[in-house]
Amino acid sequence: MTPEELVAHLQEVDASFVERSDIQFGQASVWIPRDKWVAAGTHLKECGRCKFDMFNFMAGVDWPDDNQIEVVAHLYSVRRQHHLNMKIRVARDDGSVPTLSSVWRGANWHERETWELYGVVFEGHPHLVKLLLPEAFEGFPLRKDFLLMTREAKEWEGREEPGPPDSSPRPGRVPQSSGVSHAGGSGGSSAEAVAPRENEGAP
Amino acid sequence: MAMTEERSAMFPGGPGEGMEIIVAGKGDLATEEMVLNIGPQHPSTHGVLRVVITLDGELITAAEPVIGYMHRGFEKLAEARDYRQIIALVNRHDWLSAFGNEVGVALIVEKMLGLEVPPRATWIRMLMAEWNRILNHLMFLGSYGLELGAMTPMFYAFREREEIQALMEAATGGRLHFTYCRPGGLKDDLPKGFLQHSQKLVKLTRHRLLDYAGLLLGNEIFKKRTVGVGVLPGDVAKDYGVTGPILQASGVAEDSRLTEPYLFYDQVEFDVPTGSNGDSFDRFHVLYQRIEQSLRIIEQIHDKIPAGPIIPGKMPKTIKVPEGNYYLRTENSLGECGYYLVSTGDKRPWRMKMRTPSFNNVSMIPYLLPGILVPDLIAVLGSVFFVVGDVDR
Amino acid sequence: MILERYFSNVWALFGLKLGAVLIFFLTAPLVIGYVEHKVLAHMQARLGPMEAGRFHGWAQLIADGVKFIQKEDITPSAADKWVFVMAPILVIVPVILIFVVIPFGPGYWAVNLDLGLFFALAISAIGVIGMLMAGWASANKFSLIGAIRGAAQLIAYELPLVLAAAAVAMQAGTLSLVGIVEAQTSYWYVLPQFVGFGIFVTASLAELSRPPFDMPIADSEIIFGHMTEYTGIKFGLFLLSEYAGIVALSGLATVMYLGGWHSILIPGIPAPLWTLAKIGAISFLVIWLRATYPRLREDQLQKMAWKYLIPFALINILLTGVFKVVFK
């Protein structure tokens, strides 16, 4: 089903499933209210037209300006080959979402990870303990107010485009185009060549 | 009947020191379950994966993987880097198929920006991605035999890997972490003679691949150890989100290169091998067949690479992805590797979620292990192909 | 025995024979160990030891021996000290004793026992106790698992070993190893008893815990089985006993099936060299199997012994008996 059809189908089944929907770059996202979260998930898994049998991942997105955390569960259907994002926004402090691990077994570990990184509690989860972080870790690292101390100590400038692509450099010579910052930056500069390049078709 | 228990300390120092034997007395024969810790340092777990298993004699009744020993906070780090620096970061979670990860990031940035990548760059990306896939699969082919006791395939696999790594080093400068992709194209063009070398290497690898079939696939002892061991049904695999060779071995022909072709995979012909039983032998066999299919793709790419630039003509000075969110997936060697990018128009991502294949693959271990014997534990764990950096990020 | 021609003093003879056996015991396993390094390496597309002794690393195992002697000897604090120390001795002494009865040529043996074969098989069974002691005394779960697996395996494979040897003894009409070799002048026993030869070699691989039967020391699962907690010279003794065991059991197989010192095709080579060449050939086969096969699981191992090897060995004995009655 196309993304539009998916959203329309969900609204047909139960109008309260879809609080709001969005389609970006060909992928559908639906915001589902909290009390319909598990019901919508169950429907999406079992309905013959949707058939979302694969639980792909769950991510959290922190929106400090709205004081909310968005939980995104991405589903995929192997049979029908379509994707869907199930989204829900909860309050930052003491936000909680019902668990999807009774619907898809794969949700188990993803919910544990989202909980420990964001602080969103998943109600009804069988074993909500830390997965990636050590037991003694305090705080929720992926929130925006948990600062990355090395970046606070020193700002990391992004690499800028080192010049037009056909400034044919000769071997061993570093071009003097402006805007090349030698501090930080990973990978090599695209202009240092030590072997003659081939730009021909099939040999 | 009441059960009497005698505790006898067999070593000086009394109970708690040395080994203690609990003898169940007359009455109901009760045995205690033993909790055994495999790893994090163990000769056969691939990296720092720790599995806590509960044993009843030699039968496993419960298994719980404990992960996080290699958690480096990639997703947090990605929020502090711009779109070119992320490429170097993303090399490092699944380090055996580093180029595949880079391609994923480059593709999602280009999609959201609407950048047009020159065809030559796309074909070269495909070529490198397929060689990288072969590198990854060869590693697991070799190490699986080693865990079962066959020492020789490991050395052969590394011999092949050395040759392929030398090839990729000629173009990218790296043997493990390539950092070759850039949003929009590639860092550098291919050196002279690369394609001829690549063609020769295809023939050589194909010839040497027969050694593995002879040494392992046809070996009766190998078959006895792996057939029927660790069966994963297809629908359970899908429930857990398992992808890649493991899912294909369980009978589900799901491959992102076929269903949602990225790069130019719709212009080359290849098959997706599937297994029939979902046991360890099938997973190994699918791995072997995937290498053959990758070689086939590489041969087709050789004929199709056009001349041309490798970076689009007009590249912005700083890459700023417009606002929005998208999830793009690629078929990496271990499974589906995807990136969910949420952008607010800045030169750094607001949130980059790395959907790594090994995380989902390892999450199904609590389902797979109970009910098998301890000697089969190694055979099964080795067939769940994962890289620990991928699991923990 | 050759030396008896020149010396009549019992104690001198004893000392010389002991010296000869010990020298053989200290050199042959090292040669086989070095050959294993090199053969495995070349089968695996690499070179093997190249540095020690400058010419292709011939002194590698000697260097290893020196290394083991000077290493720190650690006994785990929870280990039962005396059992821990005695275990390697119980593993290595029986193997030395097997060398006492193997004949290398006409006149070249240490002792010609009338029950040579019986003695050799009985002595080799003592190694099981040493393995159990090592695993138990190590106070380590993995060692215990390895030792118990080893005990089960070695006991199971004693039977095919003994039954195959019994068929040879029946055909030769004597238990003395020298007698068995001398009975093979017209044809080697491997020809009528190839099944028995196969059974004997398989069973001796299992007795030595060599791949594909190395579950007791499966190093990808239980680290190193009963030898995990050993360091220094005790560990060196365990390893030495493994290679010495290969030489000893190859020696027995040579004597029983391959005609001992009898030559074939090429004239003029002294008899002891023939024996050594045949021992070398069987050891090469043992090493080759290590490079090729993964290991069998314990229950598959046991199934193989009880369901396949023992029935075949019994049929072998039956056929040998029929053969002896019909053709004699």
Q: What letter does residue B380 receive in the DSSP assignment?
A: H
Instruction: Provide the terminal-to-terminal Cα distance of chain B, rounded to the nearest Å.
Output: 53
**Chain B residues near residue A202 by CB distance under 8 angstroms:** 195, 302-305
Closest to B355 (Cα-Cα) out of B51, B85, B49, B108? B108
Residue C157 lies in a domain: yes
* DSSP states along C6-54: H---HHHHHHHHHHHHHHHHHHHHHHHHHHHHHHHHHHTTS----STTS
What mean pLDDT comes out for the span B154-166?
90
Cis peptide before C212 (omega within 30 of 0): yes
Nearest to A104 among B239, B260, B350 (CB): B239
Q: Is C308 on the interface with B (CB under 8 A)?
A: no
Of all residues in chain A, the percent with pLDDT exceeding 90 is 2
Contacts of C299 in chain B (CB under 8 A): 373
Mean pLDDT lowest among A1-10, A174-183, B124-133: A174-183
ipTM over 0.85: no
What is the number of structural domains in chain A? Answer: 1
Please give the domain boundaries of chain B with CATH numbers for all domains. 73-360 (1.10.645.10)
- B191 shares contact with chain A (CB less than 8 Å): yes
Residue B300 C-alpha, separation from nearest chain A C-alpha, in angstroms:
11
Q: How far apart are CA B313 and CA B305, in angstroms?
A: 19
For residue A115, is it within any domain?
Answer: no
* The pLDDT of residue A200 is above 70: no
State the pLDDT at residue A160: 54
β-bridge partners, B325: B342
Q: How confident is the model at residue C162 (pLDDT cuts 50, 70, 90)?
A: very high
Q: Is residue C23 part of a domain?
A: no
B19/C139 CB distance under 8 A: yes
How near does any CA of chain B get to the CA of C39, in Å? 12
What pLDDT, on the 0 to 100 scale, is given for residue B29? 58
C-interface mutation test, from B19, B38, B156, B215, most C Cβ less than 10 A away = B19
Asked if residue C29 belongs to a domain, the reply is no
CA angle C59, C64, C66 (to 5 degrees): 95
Digit-coded pLDDT (tens) for B213-251 = 888 888 888 888 888 888 888 888 888 889 889 999 988
- Per-residue pLDDT at B235: 86
How many independent structural domains does chain C possess? Answer: 1
pLDDT for residue B99 is more than 80: yes
In a domain, C314, yes or no: yes
When CB atoms are compared, the residue of C43, C78, C211 closest to B149 is: C211
Q: What's the average model confidence in pLDDT over B283-299?
A: 91
Which of B384-388, C91-95, C225-229, C251-255 is least confident? Answer: C225-229
Q: What pLDDT was estimated at residue B375?
A: 76
Is a pLDDT exceeding 80 seen at residue B342?
A: yes
CB of B44 within 8 Å of any CB in chain C? Answer: yes
Residue C285 above 90 pLDDT?
Answer: yes
Is residue C51 a contact partner of residue C87, using CB atoms and an 8 Å limit? Answer: no
**Total Cβ atoms within 10 A of residue B292:** 16
C41 vs chain B: nearest CA distance in angstroms? 9
A150: Cβ contacts below 8 Å, ≥ 6 apart: none
Average pLDDT of the residues of chain B: 84
Domain-embedded: residue C289: yes
Chain A residues in contact with B308 (beta carbon < 8 A) = 199
Whichever domain contains A79, its CATH number is 3.30.460.80
Question: Mapping DSSP to helix (H, G, I), strand (E, B) and coil, where does residue B189 land?
Answer: coil
CA dist list (Å): B215 to A90, B202, B220, B392: 56, 20, 10, 33
Question: B150 CB near a chain C CB, below 8 Å?
Answer: yes
Identify whether C49 is part of a domain: no
DSSP conformation class of B191: B
Q: Which of B138, B146, B148, B154 to mutate to test the interface with C (most CBs of C within 10 A)?
A: B148
For residue A60, tell me if it sits in a domain.
Answer: yes
How close C327 gets to chain B, by Cα (Å)? 39
CA dist B44 and C222 (Å) reads 10
The pLDDT, as a whole number, for residue A181 is 37
Kindly state whether residue C245 falls inside one of the protein's structural domains. yes
Q: Of the ranges A151-165, B63-77, C252-266, C269-283, which one carries the lowest mean pLDDT score?
A: A151-165
Q: Are B336 and B104 in contact (CB under 8 A)?
A: no
- What is the reported pLDDT for C284? 93
Average pLDDT of the segment spanning C211-223? 71
Best of B146, B155, B204, B220 to mutate (most C CBs within 10 Å, chain C): B155
Under an 8 A CB cutoff, do B336 and A74 touch? Answer: no
What percentage of chain C reaches a pLDDT higher than 70?
96
What is the four-CA torsion angle of B10, B12, B18, B22, rounded to 10 degrees? 30
Owning domain of residue A76: 3-92
Which residues form the domain of C289? 70-326
What pLDDT score does B345 carry?
85
pTM for this prediction: 0.81
pLDDT band at B24 (very low <50, low <70, confident <90, very high): very low
pLDDT value of position A171: 43
pLDDT band at C34 (very low <50, low <70, confident <90, very high): very high
d(CA B385, CA B368): 13
Q: Which residue of C has its CA nearest to B36?
A: C141
Q: How confident is the model at residue A199 (pLDDT cuts 50, 70, 90)?
A: very low
**Are C133 and C139 spatial neighbours (Cβ–Cβ below 8 Å)?**
no
Nearest CA in chain B to A185: B85
Window 274-293 of B, Cβ < 8 Å to A: none
Q: Tell me: pLDDT of C161 over 50.
A: yes
- Listed range (B107-111, C100-104, C258-262) with the worst mean pLDDT: C258-262
Binary contact (A132, B173; C-beta < 8 A): no
What pLDDT, on a 0 to 100 scale, did the predictor assign at position A80?
83
Q: From CA B26, how far away is CA A120, in angstroms rounded?
A: 52
Residue found by looking up tokens 């019909």 in the block: C326
CB B257 within 8 A of CB B300: no
- pLDDT-derived band of residue B31, with 50, 70 and 90 as boundaries? low
Res B45: pLDDT: 62
- Residue from A4, A5, A110, A26 nearest B328 by CA: A26
A133–B307 CB contact, under 8 Å: no
The confidence band for C199, taking pLDDT boundaries of 50, 70 and 90, is very high
Identify which has the larger pLDDT, A170 or C98: C98
The pLDDT confidence band at residue B201, using thresholds 50, 70 and 90, is very high
A179 — pLDDT class (breaks 50, 70, 90): very low
B43–chain C Cβ distance below 8 A for any pair: yes
Give tens-digit pLDDT for B353-366: 999 999 998 988 88
Q: Which chains pack against C, by 3+ Cβ pairs within 8 A?
A: B
End-to-end CA distance of chain C: 31
Contacts of C303 (CB under 8 A, 6+ apart): none
The DSSP line for B53-69 is EEEETTEEEEEEEE--T
- For C7-22, what is each residue's pLDDT tens digit? 777 888 888 888 888 9
Mean pLDDT, rounded, for A45-64: 87
**Strand, coil or helix: what is B310?**
coil
* Mean pLDDT, residues C218-227: 66
Cβ atoms B344, B367 nearer than 8 A: no
Is C3 a domain residue? no
Asked if residue C141 has pLDDT above 80, the reply is no
CA–CA distances in Å: residue A14 to residues A28, A45, A181, C84, C166: 17, 15, 55, 73, 83
Is B219 touching C (CB cutoff 8 A)? yes
Residue pair B268/B246 in contact by the 8 Å Cβ criterion: no
Q: What is the pLDDT of residue B43?
A: 65
Question: Residue C308's CB: how many other CB atoms inside 10 A?
Answer: 13
| Closest CA of chain C from B92, distance in Å | 27
